[in-house]
Amino acid sequence: MTTITESPPASASGPRAPRSRTRRLKLPSFALAIPAWAWLFAFFVAPVALVVWFSFGYKPGIFGTHANDVLSFDRYAEALSPTFFATFQNTLWVGVVGTLICLAISIPFAYWLAFKAPVSRRGILLAMVMIPFWTNFLVRTIGWQIILAPSGLLSEALQSIGVLNEPLEILFTRTAVLIGVVYNYLPLMILPMFVAFDRVSLPMREASKDLGAGRLSTFVNVTLPLAKPGIIVGILLVYIPLMGDYITATVLGGAKGNMAGQMVANQFQTAQNWALGSAMAVVLVLTILTTVAIAALVAWLAAWPLRASQRLVLGGES
């Protein structure tokens, strides 16, 4: 469609048509994107490139933060040394388990919201999912601190009904961080998944049932595959920010629930070792990218026999 508006000046832009030529020069197709492009280059690409550059340097003495006169991969070796590696492992555990729990909570919930919830109330129900999402991230995490504290709500409630005999010792552990991240990122899983389920039209599912498929079979063979893009978006929206999380671990984690984001922050703020902190940041990003790539590969390979079998079934029936 764009070509229609642009083609007359473009075709007339020979040497004989100076007027249309200047008009075309005034507005190249990317002109409107230039300000955003420049802004993001100046304040995203350049600073991130600087950090990658720092990661090959070292920390000169106690008062310096970084130096790059000798370049090496030593900071990467340091970032992966046992002390720090344990934190990366911990982060990966929280990231993977947290994402899986979000997935397990969201699938039935989004399914209910898309197919079972009364249509007239769907708007208000969606808004209710979004309210926590737009409440201050830090403040809702503090809410969990109040709930999970040894003298807090949950502890007292469990003690009064006799489930526990002593105060709940869950705050400042990895479990508390896990609860926090599942809570904080859950709406990011529910929303795209709801949109995906909502797109799977009722006729499609009814056709499946008319052809004799059961409810479960319809869900597994029709609804879920059609909603796959939304589910993948949800997984990425949860997993990526979760891996870089800094606030949840700071408020709920304590010493036992350390995550990579805090480690990076510490190198910049407390240890003043920008070179090591930069290397850790790069390792964190690479960990995220690698695990996403591995997960995509595994999912693709795992679906291979399924795809083959489905093709056979469809072929046999027709």
Partner 1 sequence: MNRLSLTDISLKVWAVIVFIFLFLPIAVIIIYSFNEGRLLVAWNQFGFGSFGAIATKPAISDAVLVSIQTGFIAALIATALGTMAGVALARRAGKWAPWFLILLILVTVTPEIVDAVSLLPWMVFLGQDAGLSIFDDGIVRLVVGHSLFATAVVAYIVRSRLIGIDESLEEAAADLYAPPFKRFTQITLPLVMPAVLAGGLLSFTLSLDNTIVSAFVQVSGSTPWPVYVLSAVRTGLRPEIAAVSTIMLLLTLAALGLVAYVLRRAGDSPTDIAKTVGGG
Restricting to residues 165-224, name those near partner 1 by CB under 8 A.
183, 186-188, 191-192, 194-195, 198, 215
Could you give phi then psi for residue 100, rounded to 5 degrees?
-65, -40
Which alpha helices (H) appear in 249-273, and where do they start and end? 260-269
Where does residue 231 rank: exposed (0-12), middle (13-18), buried (19+ CB within 10 A)?
buried
Residues 46-75 that bind partner 1 (CB under 8 A): 46-48, 50-51, 54, 65-66
CB of 154 to partner 1, least distance (A): 9
CB of 175 to partner 1, least distance (A): 15
What CA–CA distance (Å, rounded) separates 284 from 37? 26
CB of 278 to partner 1, least distance (A): 7
Token pair 């083609």 is found at 7
Contact pick of 88, 111, 172, 185 for partner 1 (by CB under 8 A): 111
| Tokens, residue 241 | 């920010």
What CA–CA distance (Å, rounded) separates 315 from 228? 23
What CA–CA distance (Å, rounded) separates 256 from 90? 10
Q: Which stretch binds partner 1 (CB under 8 A): 14-22, 30-38, 205-213, 302-310?
A: 30-38
Contact pick of 109, 224, 272, 291 for partner 1 (by CB under 8 A): 109
Which residues partner with 58 through β-bridges?
A: 67
Nearer Cβ to partner 1, position 16 or 116? 116
Residues 285-314 that bind partner 1 (CB under 8 A): 285, 288
What CA–CA distance (Å, rounded) separates 76 from 80? 6
Nearer Cβ to partner 1, position 6 or 313? 6
Residues 224-283 that bind partner 1 (CB under 8 A): 233, 236, 240-241, 243-247, 250-251, 261, 264-265, 268-269, 274, 277-278, 281
Nearer Cβ to partner 1, position 215 or 307? 215
| Tokens, residue 67 | 């130096």
Under the criterion CB under 8 A, does residue 318 sit at the interface with partner 1? no
Q: What is the DSSP annotation of 100-126?
A: HHHHHHHHHHHHIIIIIS-GGGHHHHH
Contact pick of 12, 17, 67, 105 for partner 1 (by CB under 8 A): 105
CB of 162 to partner 1, least distance (A): 22
